Amino acid sequence: MTDYFDRIHEGLPIDDVEIIDMHAHLGPYFNMHIPSMDADGMIIMMDQLGIDKTVLSATPGLCGDMVLGNNMTIDAIRSHRGRMYGACIVNGNYPELSLDELERCFTEEPDMVIVKTHPILAKCKMDDYRMQGICKWVADRKLMLLVHTWLDQDPYGSQDQLTRMAKDYPDISWIMGHSGGPYGTTHGIELAADLPNVMFDITMSMCPARQIEFLVDTVGADRVLFGTDNPFIDPKPQMGRIFLADISNEDRMKIVSWNARRYVDFG
């Protein structure tokens, strides 16, 4: 039983530690209904749970119009300064526009802090040659790049593709989104065991039992990041998973905030 058992089961916010959500979204999605999908609704949910800061990318930008998505992200940041931070969306199908967006977003908005790509929604493999200029831009600035990865069979964003890119671009801190998917975590860890520039986020809609403990025992808590997919999916189960996990409180603090602060300046 953890120190947070009673508070989690009573639905009380975890307000005695800093919590940074490194994987969240904003806005509608074509394939399902998302309640409270705007920035104000997300802030209400964050307050209910005790999440202090959220790094988000707007879902419409991942599905097609990355300029629109990045503009939505910037608006959310400016409406909730100090609570919301941005992941600039790039798309390998549009390499020149992606570079323009990187320059624009990181120049105009100081709280744009990482980069995000979603290969399967973009229908562009993460190791496509058109991603090279984008990756060089990110590597030159030693930023984090969050990539949606999903199972071994994903032709666009598998763990194998991400780890190949991590070897080619060691100055990028790669976030393996969803830790490779519900049945892909073990393979992802095997591939990235000797790649210290690969981090694993716990964002998951289908949650394997004791996955948090497994990640801490294998790659170590220093390489695990907290994420929820809020409001794409309900963030409450993610809070329960991490605050009820059978790990030390020091490892828990690394996952929910300390690791994020090693890579991102949140002020």
- Whether the CB-CB separation of 57 and 90 falls below 8 Å is answered with no
User: pLDDT digits over 15-24, tens only?
Assistant: 999 999 999 9
Nearest-angstrom CA–CA distance, 170 and 3: 38
Predicted local distance difference test score (pLDDT) of residue 209: 87
> In Å, how far from its chain's centre is CA 117?
10
Share of the chain above pLDDT 70, in %: 100
Mean pLDDT of the chain: 95
Domain ranges of the chain: 16-189+205-262
Global pTM exceeds 0.75 = yes
Nearest-angstrom CA–CA distance, 243 and 232: 21
Predicted local distance difference test score (pLDDT) of residue 217: 97
User: pLDDT digits over 71-92, tens only?
Assistant: 999 999 999 999 999 999 999 9
Predicted local distance difference test score (pLDDT) of residue 189: 94
User: Which residue in the block uniquely carries the two structure tokens 């526009």?
Assistant: 97
- Both structure tokens of 143: 């930023």
Residue 207 has pLDDT above 90, yes or no: no
Q: Looking at 24-38, 93-107, 246-260, which range is the least confident one?
A: 24-38
Residue 202 has pLDDT above 90, yes or no: yes
CATH 3.20.20.140 fits 16-189+205-262, yes or no: yes
Mean pLDDT of the region 154-181: 95
pLDDT band with cut points at 50, 70 and 90 for residue 267: confident
Q: Which ranges constitute the DSSP H helices of the chain?
A: 5-10, 39-49, 59-63, 66-79, 95-108, 119-122, 132-140, 159-168, 185-192, 211-218, 236-243, 249-253, 259-263
More confidently predicted of 20 and 185: 20
Predicted local distance difference test score (pLDDT) of residue 1: 64
